[in-house]
C-alpha cells in the first residue's frame, strides 16, 4: 500500500464517524499548539546543542559513544570525498537540520543531490528532505530511528535510508517504492553495499567496523 493509499484509508475511516468534524477541529487545535512549540524550539536551539522536534516534543540527544562517532567519521569521510570528486551534490553530517512538514531532524549523515544543493545559501539553517539518510543506532534513538523517522522519511520521498547497528555490526539498506521503504539488503560484518541515490558509490562495510 502506498502512502497516498494509506492517507486515503485514514480519511475514509474518519468520514465514517458521525463526530468527524469535531475530531478534525481537535486535530487543528493540537497542530496549532504544536506549531507554537516548534517556533519556541527554533528559538531555543543553537549550534552547540543537538536536538530534534518530533511529533510536538523537543528531543535532546545525549553525547554519542566512541563506536558511534567512529562509524560516522569513517563513512562520512568516504561519502564526502566521493561526492566532491564526482560533483554530485553535498553531504551533511550530524548538525544539518532537516525540516519536514511536521518534524525537524538532525540525521547522522545525509546527502542532497546537486539539483537541490545548488540552491542552498551559505547561511541556510533549515533544509528540505535529502535524497539519502544514514542513522546510526544507539539505545536511546533506536525506537525513533526504526519507527517515527523510518515512516516520516519514506513519506517525504527520501529515496534511500541506511540504518547502522554498531553493536551487531550490520547495515540495513532501504529503497523507497511509492514512498514506502522496502529492505534491499542487510549486511553483517562485511560485504559490498551499493548506493542507488549516490550514483556509483559502493564500499565494503568491514571498513566501518574496525
Confidence at residue 3, expressed as pLDDT on a 0 to 100 scale: 65
Convert the pLDDT of each residue in 129-181 to its tens digit. 999 999 999 999 999 999 999 999 999 999 999 999 999 999 999 999 999 99
Q: Is the dihedral of CA 52, 47, 42, 7 positive or negative?
A: negative
Helix axes 20-44, 3-15, angle to 10 degrees: 130
For the chain, the structural domain boundaries read: 3-44, 63-207
In the 3-class helix/strand/coil scheme, how is the chain assigned residue by residue? CCHHHHHHHHHHHHHCCCCHHHHHHHHHHHHHHHHHHHHHHHHHCCCCCCEEEECCEEEECCCCCHHHHHHHHHHHHHHHHHHHHCCCEEEEECCCEEECCCCEECCCEEEEEHHHHCCCCCCCCEECCCCEEEEECCCCCHHHHHCHHHHHHHHCCCCEEEEEECCCCEEEEEEEECCEEEEEEEEECCCEEECCCCCCCEEEHHHCCC
How far apart are alpha carbons 84 and 130 in whole angstroms? 17
Residue 132 near residue 110 (C-beta atoms within 8 A): yes
State the pairing for strand pair 126-127/97-99: parallel
Confidence at residue 2, expressed as pLDDT on a 0 to 100 scale: 64
Q: Which CATH superfamily is domain 63-207 in?
A: tt1808, chain A (3.90.1570.10)
Digit-by-digit pLDDT tens for the chain (210 residues) are: 666 676 777 778 877 878 878 778 888 888 888 888 898 888 887 767 789 999 999 999 888 899 999 999 999 999 999 999 999 999 999 889 999 999 999 999 999 999 999 999 999 999 999 999 999 999 999 999 999 999 999 999 999 999 999 999 999 999 999 999 999 999 999 999 999 999 999 999 999 998
> CA-based Rg of the chain, rounded to a whole angstrom?
18
Amino acid at each position: 500500500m502506498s502512502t497516498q493509499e494509506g492517507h486515503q484509508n485514514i480519511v475514509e475511516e474518519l468520514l465514517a464517524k458521525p463526530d468527524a468534524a469535531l475530531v478534525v477541529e481537535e486535530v487543528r487545535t493540537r497542530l496549532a499548539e504544536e506549531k507554537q512549540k516548534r517556533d519556541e524550539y527554533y528559538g531555543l536551539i543553537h549550534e552547540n546543542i543537538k536536538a530534534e522536534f518530533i511529533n510536538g516534543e523537543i528531543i535532546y540527544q545525549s553525547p554519542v559513544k566512541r563506536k558511534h562517532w567512529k562509524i560516522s567519521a569513517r563513512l562520512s569521510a568516504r561519502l564526502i570525498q566521493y561526492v566532491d570528486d564526482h560533483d554530485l551534490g553535498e553531504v551533511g553530517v550530524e548538525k544539518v537540520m532537516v525540516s519536514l512538514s511536521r518534524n525537524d531532524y538532525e540525521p547522522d549523515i545525509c546527502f542532497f543531490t546537486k539539483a537541490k544543493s545548488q540552491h542552498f545559501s551559505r547561511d541556510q539553517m533549515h533544509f528540505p528532505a535529502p535524497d539519502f539518510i544514514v542513522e546510526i543506532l544507539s539505545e536511546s534513538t533506536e525506537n525513533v530511528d526504526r519507527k517515527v523517522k523510518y515512516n516520516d522519511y519514506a513519506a517525504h520521498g527520501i529515496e534511500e535510508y541506511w540504518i547502522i547497528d554498531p553493536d551487531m555490526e550490520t547495515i540495513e539498506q532501504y529503497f523507497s517504492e511509492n514512498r514506502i521503504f522496502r529492505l534491499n539488503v542487510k549486511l553483517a560484518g562485511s560485504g559490498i553495499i551499493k548506493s542507488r541515490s549516490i550514483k556509483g558509490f559502493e564500499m565494503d562495510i568491514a571498513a566501518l567496523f574496525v
